[in-house]
Amino acid sequence: MNNNIKKLGYFFIIIFSVLALYLGYLNAVLGPKLATDPHNRRLAAAEEAVTRGSIYDRRGVVLAEDKVVGGVKKRVYPLGSGTAHLLGFVSQQYGRAGLESTFDTYLLAMDQAGRIQALVDRVLGRQRYGYNVTLTVDSRLQSKAFQLLGGRPGAVVALDPRTGAVLAMVSSPSYDPASVDAVVRSETTMQNGRKVEIKTTGYDLLKVQTEAAPLLNRAARGVYPPGSTFKVVTGAGFLGANPGGPDRVYQCTGSLVAEGFVLKDFGVHGKIGLDQATAISCNTYFAGMGLELGDEGLKKAARDFGFELIEYDKDGQQKGGYPVTGGEIPYNPGTLPKSRMPLPEVASAAIGQGRVLVSPFQMALVAAGLANRGVVMKPLVLERVSTRNGIVIRRISPDPLLTAVHPGVAARLTAAMEESVLQGTSAPAALKGVRVAGKTGSAQNPNGTHAWFIGFAPVEDPRIALAVILENAGSGAYEAAPVAREIIREYLR
């Protein structure tokens, strides 16, 4: 019997060990996630006790801070609606959004060291402060971009191609983050014999504007057809598949036939190579490239830049939700249909029509990848976290995300994109004394034409890569390219 008792003891040791391991997992691994879950009432409770950390731009300009106005603690955003989608908001009623939510752990000092500090502060009766967060964002560039959009629906994403650092991320139309909780109007009605007060907040008003959708962060979560800007992806795929081959020369007759489907170009361009085709944005040239790549080759090229494949049901609707790439700024990756595309669709996908969809953030990553010799860096927006006394507790270093193309391919495409700025559709993006590479796009859609521009500068040592979109504004050359030019000018000045 003693043997059995011992075995019973081993059994208990096993189940208690499982329990201990699980407890450790729960506490140490899942703990941080649980701590910042928006449902967690501890967040609001912590908020009461802590002066939330400030958010600074790369030069130390305040983007968000707690201020006591008339005895009430308020979150103040000096750039107002210009940073609304980037920073998000903090609201008692509607939770938190944007970077305010992403960096809650820091802003409320909820890490292990912060907990100990909190205990010390409590014993000594001191005010508690969250950590300050410094972003890679350039507030001047951010303001400039927002101003250039001028309230038109659209978005700008600017990155440092060498590090993946987000320099500016703007979405328009925007809203005032401080007005989310504000009661705009209050009505009293009788309901079941009781007086019921119905309060309408700023958020309620924003929520119902489905057309303008001011709450939508178009830069990261807007999904558009890329139009001709996608041609650089097609070109990258083709050059990658034919390394060291001679420049593809093609006789543009103004149209292209794929399995009986006629794809019309806007002109007859004659005999052209890659540089010219990119400069004038010849549809048949790149559609032909797409046909040579085929369904698989084109998808591989896109996936090399981080695109994903999604399923469509019979009615042409996406199955399940649209994919989201996690990280400091969650964004929608570009997508292509998972099922095999027939040749006519391959041809139109190669020029960014059909079921190719992208977010401006994704297109900025494409531009940045080409600028950085083919390596796409992991996007990052947090530069460092520091205590109130300036002690840096976390600093972020850049990491490569993926290798999209070989350096040689990137260089070849860069030359073609520079040609586009020098004597092609991207000419409005040209800057005196700065070599700019770019590609326009005018993406037709049922409601009009989206004006696109992607590019980077200076070509010899790129420091900024960007994507600009103006919804249904018309031609990429006349609407988007000038916006990009002014942003580049502002940044490189």
Partner 1 sequence: MLLAGLFLAAGALAAYLWRGGEARLVFVGAAVPVLAFLLVGVLWQALGFRADQYLLPLVAMFSFTSLVFLYRLSPGYAYRQFVWLLVGILFLFLTTRLFSNYRWLSQYKYIYGLLGALALIVPIFFGIEQGGAKSWLDFKFFHLQPSEFVKILVVLFLASFMSENKMVLSRGTESLLGLNLPGPRVWGPLLGMWGVSLILLVFQRDLGAALIYFGTFLAMVYVATARSLYVTLGLSLFTAGGALSYLLFDHVRQRVNIWLLNPYNFIELGDKEYDQAYQIIQSLFAIGAGGITGTGLGAGYPGFIPAVHTDFIFAAITEETGLMGGLGLVVLYLFFIYRGLKVALEARDDFSKLLASGLTALMGLQAFIIIAGVTKLLPLTGVTLPFISYGGSSLVANFIILGMILSISHEARCHEQQH
Cβ-based nearer residue to partner 1, 46 or 279: 46
User: Which of 9, 150, 267, 270 is close enough to bind partner 1 by CB under 8 A?
Assistant: 9
Q: Closest approach of Cβ 68 to partner 1, in Å?
A: 24
Cβ-based nearer residue to partner 1, 88 or 306: 88
**Does 30 engage in binding with partner 1 (CB under 8 A)?**
yes
Distance CA 302, CA 49 (A): 48
**Does 33 engage in binding with partner 1 (CB under 8 A)?**
yes
Cβ-based nearer residue to partner 1, 193 or 326: 326
Q: Closest approach of Cβ 38 to partner 1, in Å?
A: 6
**Does 38 engage in binding with partner 1 (CB under 8 A)?**
yes
**Does 14 engage in binding with partner 1 (CB under 8 A)?**
no
**Does 22 engage in binding with partner 1 (CB under 8 A)?**
yes
**Does 12 engage in binding with partner 1 (CB under 8 A)?**
yes
Q: Closest approach of Cβ 166 to partner 1, in Å?
A: 24
Cβ-based nearer residue to partner 1, 68 or 123: 123
x-marked contacts with partner 1 along 217-256 as a string, rule CB under 8 A: ----------------------------------------
Cβ-based nearer residue to partner 1, 13 or 212: 13
Q: Which token pair is 97?
A: 């959004």
**Does 24 engage in binding with partner 1 (CB under 8 A)?**
yes
Stretch binding partner 1 (CB under 8 A), from 5-13, 304-312, 346-354, 416-424: 5-13
Cβ-based nearer residue to partner 1, 45 or 184: 45
Q: How many CB atoms lie within 10 A of CB 218?
A: 28
**Does 45 engage in binding with partner 1 (CB under 8 A)?**
yes
**Does 59 engage in binding with partner 1 (CB under 8 A)?**
no
Distance CA 374, CA 221 (A): 24
**Does 13 engage in binding with partner 1 (CB under 8 A)?**
yes
Beta-bridge partners for 357: 335
x-marked contacts with partner 1 along 98-137 as a string, rule CB under 8 A: --------------x--xx-xx--x---------------
CA pseudo-torsion sign 50, 51, 57, 63: positive
Q: Closest approach of Cβ 214 to partner 1, in Å?
A: 22
**Does 6 engage in binding with partner 1 (CB under 8 A)?**
yes
**Does 35 engage in binding with partner 1 (CB under 8 A)?**
yes
Asked if 492 and 457 touch (Cβ cutoff 8 Å), the reply is: yes
Binding site for partner 1 (CB under 8 A): 1-9, 11-13, 15-16, 18-20, 22-24, 26-28, 30-35, 37-42, 45, 112, 115-116, 118-119, 122
